[in-house]
Amino acid sequence: MFKRVCIIGCGLIGSSIARGIKKNKLATKVVSSNRSNSTNKKVIRLKIVDEASSDTKKMVRGSDLIIIASPLSSYKNIIFKIKGSLKKGAILTDVGSVKKNVISLIEKNIPKNISWISSHPIAGTEDSGPESGFSQLFKNKWCILTPGKQSNNKDIKLLEKFWKKLGSRVDVMDAKQHDYILSITSHMPHLIAYNIVNTALKIKKKKDRNIVKYSAGGLRDFTRIAASNPVMWRDIFIQNRKNTSKIIDKFIKNLKDLKKAIKNKNEKKLEKIFTKTKKIRKEIIEAGQDISRPDFGRK
């Protein structure tokens, strides 16, 4: 499918893509650029890629597909570094979790003969680094493509095919819609998990109430999400601050309604809300986004 694919940042997502490329024979050669020499050595030793170096320009040169898989805050530096080394006609994509700002940042800074098509695989775990990646990560998970002004139609089709070969289901939407939807389905749940765990942590510090011992009552499930990569999530909230702030306001309003219903012993209202929310779980399982076994839906 491609002669040379270059992955910038071979962490959880980057290394899973590299493993998927090798497993499905989607490229003749897979190379990677990482900041540290130890990561470059590791990705070679683990046979995740064929070549790796911290010289990003060198790795990018001659590649027909370049995938940025590093934190959003690193994009600016990376683009300034690689813009003069991109092969004419190459496809440039990323895997970032927020789209609007990075699409225009890259559009403004790359040559016109590059097809820049942003991607977002809605797949991940709370782990980081090349050791944690696996080729099946994208299986049956959605990958959203958000083309911009510099996306060639033929290349959109090719990139769509690439993600499908990795096991993804592919949707195409505009960046604004993407950032809004993801603020509800991904960014808000992470923020809530961070806040619940942080609140429990503060209570634990004040008076140890066996919080870890009895965490299976619900807290445990939130700790998985709240164990996600701190730098990545810092970047996501800052990049998507407008949408996230609006959703936080809505959340606070609903939380206040719940508090009122609890205080007023409004049984009818509580039961009505909880019955409505139970239905969505069934829909998620039916849509293949999780399984009903209590193992966090991970296996």
Quote the CA–CA distance of 12 and 128 in Å, as a whole number. 5
| Residue 276 φ/ψ, nearest 5 degrees | -65, -45
- To ligand NAD, the closest distance from the beta carbon of 167 in angstroms equals 14
Sheet holding 65-68, edge to edge: 51-53, 27-33, 2-8, 65-68, 91-94, 115-121, 142-147, 169-172
Q: Mapping DSSP to helix (H, G, I), strand (E, B) and coil, where does residue 8 land?
A: strand
- To ligand NAD, the closest distance from the beta carbon of 263 in angstroms equals 37
Categorise residue 6: left if φ over 0, alpha if ψ from -120 to 50, beta otherwise: beta
- To ligand NAD, the closest distance from the beta carbon of 98 in angstroms equals 7
Q: Which is nearer to ligand NAD, 66 or 69 (CB)?
A: 69
Quote the CA–CA distance of 88 and 133 in Å, as a whole number. 30
Quote the CA–CA distance of 74 and 50 in Å, as a whole number. 24
Q: Which is nearer to ligand NAD, 54 or 254 (CB)?
A: 54
Q: Which is nearer to ligand NAD, 8 or 200 (CB)?
A: 8
Write out the residues near ligand NAD by the rule CB under 6 A. Answer: 9-14, 34-35, 39, 69-72, 74, 95-97, 121, 124, 128-129, 229, 232
- To ligand NAD, the closest distance from the beta carbon of 88 in angstroms equals 24
Q: Which is nearer to ligand NAD, 70 or 151 (CB)?
A: 70
* Pairing state between β 115-121 and 142-147: antiparallel
- To ligand NAD, the closest distance from the beta carbon of 79 in angstroms equals 11
Q: Which is nearer to ligand NAD, 2 or 138 (CB)?
A: 138
